[in-house]
Amino acid sequence: MAKPEWLTIKPVSTERYGEIKQTISSLGLHTVCAEAHCPNITECWGSGTATFMVLGGLCTRGCTFCAVSKSAHGDGVDQLEPEKLARVIGRWRLPYVVITSVCRDDLEDQGAGHFARCVKSIKAASPETVVEVLIPDFRGDSSCLKTIVDSGPDVIGHNIETVERLSPGIRDRRAGYRQSLSVLGTVKRLDRTRYTKSAMMLGLGESDEEVLQAMEDLRGSGVDFLAIGQYLRPSQHHAELVEYVPPEKFTYFRERALGMGFLYAAAGPFVRSSYRAGEFFAAEMVKRGRQPTS
Ligand code: SF4
């Protein structure tokens, strides 16, 4: 399927992008921007925002839409990763960072403890930096979720990825639409003052009604921020792309999301869960002390 004109992106190559990239790779850190072939990589990195992926570059899940490398056993965990991250973020004075991870079903605590140590280390070194975490589902384990909440991130995100009907073919069989809603609801129950966020992709064959239902379900779980973007098929081996959704449809969903009570909604062909526009807005909101919903 040929890409429509609105999906042609002009790469923004900046000096800052190159410098940050070099520092990150010299320390052996991973960013999801590179691993997941994100189309916004130069724009985000060029403006000083990057999403770091902790716990290695191998995921133990097999979601069919995702470009991250997969393996039944993940990489060895770099015990120095929390300090390295804190050093990079402090050095580049990044105002807003997103920390995400691959799934680590092979580890006893599914990596929650290491994830939390990363957040604490960043917060200790750069108290001004707003930290968003984009977490796996931890198979719904509330003790793992509590470990994350207690580490003190400002925003906790978990992606629902797609509508309920398509979830089984798109996401790993250990993940699930209802489980993801439950994860988001549990985070809110653990701390009502914490902002929560979720994201989904369009273009996988979902109907408008199914998208609106997913949005309602997310609001029902108390989610504050929503990001909706276009699915871009990483290769012929990944889930099939059914359609390129036109920009006006994204505008429609954004307006409906705001009408449902999301504090912020970003929707557009290039929007990703960590897209910088959303982060900047979220940073403003956190600084202005706007109350999360419940
Ligand atoms: S859980 Fe799925 S979407 Fe997330 S990194 Fe692993 S394979 Fe990709």
Q: Residue 158 and residue 153: Cα distance in Å, rounded? A: 13
Single-letter residue type at 73: H
Please indicate whether residue 36, judged by its CB atom, sits closer than 6 Å to ligand 1. no
Name the maximum alpha-carbon separation found in the chain. 48
Give 268's contacts (C-beta < 8 A, 6+ positions apart).
228, 229, 230, 247, 250, 254
Please indicate whether residue 266, judged by its CB atom, sits closer than 6 Å to ligand 1. no
Please indicate whether residue 148, judged by its CB atom, sits closer than 6 Å to ligand 1. no
Residue bearing the bigger pLDDT, 264 or 213: 213
Single-letter residue type at 98: V
Strands (E), 77-167: 96-101, 130-134, 155-157
CB half-sphere exposure, 153, CA atoms < 13 A: 29
Single-letter residue type at 41: I
Single-letter residue type at 136: P
User: Which of these, 79, 134, 64, lies nearest to 282 by C-alpha position?
Assistant: 134
**126 Cα distance to chain centroid:** 21
Report CA(236)–ligand 1 centroid distance (Å). Answer: 17
Please indicate whether residue 183, judged by its CB atom, sits closer than 6 Å to ligand 1. no
Neighbour tally for 105: CB within 10 Å: 18
The pLDDT value recorded for residue 277 is 45
pLDDT band at 42 (very low <50, low <70, confident <90, very high): low
59 CA closest ligand 1 atom index: 6
Domains (range + CATH), the chain: 29-288 (3.20.20.70)
What percent of the chain shows pLDDT beyond 70? 83
> Under DSSP, is residue 267 helix (H, G, I), strand (E, B) or coil?
strand
Please indicate whether residue 103, judged by its CB atom, sits closer than 6 Å to ligand 1. yes
Please indicate whether residue 267, judged by its CB atom, sits closer than 6 Å to ligand 1. no
Whose C-alpha lies nearest to ligand 1, atom 8? Answer: 66
Please indicate whether residue 199, judged by its CB atom, sits closer than 6 Å to ligand 1. no
Whose C-alpha lies nearest to ligand 1, atom 2? Answer: 63
Contact 214, 163 (CB under 8 A): yes
Contact 272, 250 (CB under 8 A): no
Q: Residue 194 and residue 150: Cα distance in Å, rounded? A: 11
Report CA(290)–ligand 1 centroid distance (Å). Answer: 31
Residue bearing the bigger pLDDT, 2 or 155: 155
Whose C-alpha lies nearest to ligand 1, atom 5? Answer: 102
60 CA closest ligand 1 atom index: 6
Q: Residue 76 and residue 57: Cα distance in Å, rounded? A: 10
> Under DSSP, is residue 264 helix (H, G, I), strand (E, B) or coil?
strand
- Residue 196 in tokens: 């929560």
Question: What are the tens digits of pLDDT across the range 216-239?
Answer: 999 999 999 999 999 999 999 999
pLDDT band at 292 (very low <50, low <70, confident <90, very high): confident
pTM of full prediction above 0.85 = yes
> Under DSSP, is residue 184 helix (H, G, I), strand (E, B) or coil?
helix
- Written as one string, the DSSP assignment of 43-84 is HHHHTT--EEEES-S-BS---TT--S-B-SS-PPP-TTHHHH
Please indicate whether residue 68, judged by its CB atom, sits closer than 6 Å to ligand 1. yes
| Range in 136-150, 218-232, 277-291 the model is least confident about | 277-291
Question: What are the tens digits of pLDDT across the range 109-126?
Answer: 999 999 999 999 999 999
Strands 30-31 and 51-54: antiparallel
DSSP class of residue 5?
G
φ, ψ at 195 (rounded to 5°): -70, 140
Report CA(103)–ligand 1 centroid distance (Å). Answer: 7
171 CA closest ligand 1 atom index: 2
Please indicate whether residue 161, judged by its CB atom, sits closer than 6 Å to ligand 1. no
